[in-house]
Amino acid sequence: MAYVNIPVSSAANTAFSCILDGQSAQIKLETTDYGLYATVNYNGVEIATSRLCLDRTDINSARYLGMPQALFFADLQGQTDPVYTGFGTRYVLCYGDPQDNGGTAVG
Domain boundaries, the chain: 4-96
pTM: 0.89
CA distance 6 to 24: 13
CA distance 4 to 95: 5
pLDDT of 104: 44
Q: What's 17's DSSP letter?
A: E
Predicted confidence (pLDDT) per residue in 51-64, tens digit: 999 999 999 988 99
SS3 state of residue 63: helix
CA distance 53 to 36: 6
Predicted confidence (pLDDT) per residue in 8-46, tens digit: 999 999 999 999 999 999 999 999 999 999 999 999 999
